[in-house]
C-alpha cells in the first residue's frame, strides 16, 4: 500500500499538535529535504519523509497505526533507556553494591526495564535556526527508577539540517553513580513504510569484530573477528544474501564493534543502507562504540503499520548506535557508568542522499 502522504512542509519553526495518546506531535523539516514527525511519548521518531532519486518523498520509518494500543510496537522509533539492549538477569554491581533491575525478556532487563523511557511522556521545546530545525526533549528519571540508582536528567535533541541529515544528540547528568546507554530504536525501510521487506536493501557495517550471543541474546566470551563469518559486512551485501550465510541464524540481532575513528567525541562511520529500487541511501555516523543490527526476523504481522500493512519478518531494519549489551557485567567492554559531576554525551547522525 502507498504510505500516507504528508502535507508539503513550507518551512518555518516546528509545528506542534496536541494528541491525547502521544502527548504532542511535532512536525519539522526544510522544503525539498527531510520532514520528520516526533511524538513526545517515548521521545519517538514516528515518521521521516525522504526524497527518492526522482525527488518524490516517502515515509521510511515504521510505526504502528495505533501506537497507544500496540504493546508489540512499544520500541518503534522510541528513545530507549536508561540502558539500551540487555543486562543479564537484570543485575549489575557498582561501587561494591549489587542492583536488581526491572526484568522482562527471559528474566533479563531489556531497554531499561518494563517501564522504560519509551513509555514516558517527555517535555519538548522547538529549535529553529537557518541551518537546523527540530525539537529538544527532556525527561527526569527518579532515583530507583526500574532499579537504577540516582536521579537522572536527560535531554535528547532531534534535529534536521539543510544538508539532509537527521541528528540525535543525547546528554544526561546524575546525582549518584549510575548506568546510562541511550539510543533511538527506529526501524527503516528505504523503499517506504509498508512497501514490503528490506531483503533487497544493501547493508555495509564498519566493524572488524562482533559480539557472540547465546540463545537468549546475552553475550559470552570475547568479541570475535568478522572475517570468514556471517557477520562480515564490511562490503555492501543484499540483506537476504547476508543473513542466509551459515551462522547468521536467518537474521541479525547482534552487536557490531565499530572500528575506531578519531577521538572519543568524534563521529565514526557505522553503517550504510541503500535501497536500489528507490535510490535512497542512509549513512549512519556515531560517537558510540557499537551498532546493534536487527533485521526484524521476529515480526509476525501482529503490528499493523501506518499504511494499514501488517509488518512481517524483515519489514524494516533497526541500526541502534549504543554501548555493548550487558557491558556492566563485562569488565573489558567500554564503561557505561556515569558519576556526579560528569556529563553523558552521545551523538548519532543519519545522512540521507540518493545513488543510482
User: Which residues are bridge partners to 161 per DSSP?
Assistant: 132
- What is the layout of strands, in order, in the sheet containing 237-238? 123-128, 132-141, 152-161, 165-174, 344-354, 280-286, 268-274, 202-205, 237-238
Q: DSSP assignment, residue 265?
A: T
Which of 109, 173, 119 is closest to 147 using CA atoms?
109
Among all residues, which ones are annotated catalytic?
185, 320
Which of 324, 321, 280, 291 is closest to 61 using CA atoms?
280
User: Which residues are bridge partners to 255 per DSSP?
Assistant: 292
Q: Which residues contact 240 (CB under 8 A, 6 or more apart)?
A: 199, 200
Cα–Cα distance between 253 and 249 in angstroms, integer? Answer: 10
Identify whether the C-beta of residue 183 lies closer than 8 Å to the C-beta of residue 284: no
Amino acid at each position: 500500500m502507498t504510505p500516507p502522504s504528508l502535507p508539503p512542509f513550507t518551512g518555518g519553526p516546528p509545528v506542534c499538535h496536541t494528541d491525547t495518546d502521544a502527548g504532542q506531535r511535532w512536525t519539522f523539516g526544510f522544503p525539498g529535504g527531510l520532514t520528520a514527525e516526533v511524538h513526545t511519548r517515548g521521545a519517538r521518531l514516528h515518521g521521516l519523509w525522504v526524497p527518492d532519486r526522482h525527488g518524490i518523498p516517502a515515509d521510511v520509518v515504521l510505526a504502528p497505526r495505533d501506537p497507544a494500543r500496540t504493546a508489540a510496537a512499544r520500541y518503534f522509533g522510541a528513545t530507549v533507556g536508561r540502558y539500551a539492549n540487555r543486562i543479564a538477569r537484570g543485575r549489575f554491581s557498582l561501587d561494591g553494591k549489587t542492583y536488581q533491575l526491572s526484568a522482562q525478556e527471559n528474566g533479563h532487563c531489556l531497554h531499561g526495564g518494563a517501564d522504560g523511557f519509551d513509555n514516558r511522556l517527555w517535555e519538548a521545546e522547538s529549535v529553529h535556526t537557518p541551518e537546523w530545525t527540530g525539537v529538544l526533549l527532556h525527561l527526569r528519571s527518579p532515583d530507583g527508577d526500574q532499579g537504577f540508582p540516582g536521579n537522572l536528567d536527560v535531554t535528547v535533541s532531534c534535529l534536521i539540517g539543510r544538508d539532509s541529515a537527521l541528528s540525535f544528540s543525547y546528554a544526561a547528568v546524575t546525582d549518584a553513580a549510575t548506568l546510562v546507554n541511550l539510543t533511538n530504536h527506529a526501524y527503516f525501510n528505504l523503499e517506504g513504510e509498508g512497501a514490503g521487506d528490506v531483503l533487497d536493501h544493501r547493508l555495509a557495517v564498519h566493524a572488524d569484530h562482533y559480539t557472540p550471543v547465546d540463545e537468549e541474546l546475552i553475550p559470552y566470551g570475547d568479541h570475535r573477528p568478522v572475517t570468514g563469518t556471517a557477520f562480515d559486512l564490511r562490503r555492501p551485501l543484499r540483506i537476504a544474501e547476508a543473513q542466509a550465510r551459515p551462522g547468521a541464524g536467518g537474521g541479525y540481532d547482534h552487536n557490531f564493534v565499530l572500528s575506531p575513528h578519531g577521538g572519543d567525541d568524534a563521529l565514526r562511520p557505522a553503517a550504510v543502507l541503500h535501497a536500489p529500487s528507490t535510490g535512497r541511501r542512509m549513512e549512519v555516523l556515531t560517537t558510540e562504540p557499537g551498532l546493534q543490527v536487527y533485521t526484524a526476523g521476529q515480526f509476525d504481522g501482529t503490528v499493523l503499520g501506518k499504511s494499514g500493512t501488517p509488518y512481517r519478518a524483515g519489514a524494516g531494519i533497526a541500526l541502534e548506535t549504543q554501548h555493548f549489551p550487558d557491558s556492566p557485567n563485562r569488565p573489558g567492554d567500554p564503561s557505561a557508568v556515569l558519576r556526579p559531576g560528569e556529563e553523558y554525551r552521545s551523538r548519532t547522525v543519519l545522512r540521507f542522499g540518493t545513488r543510482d
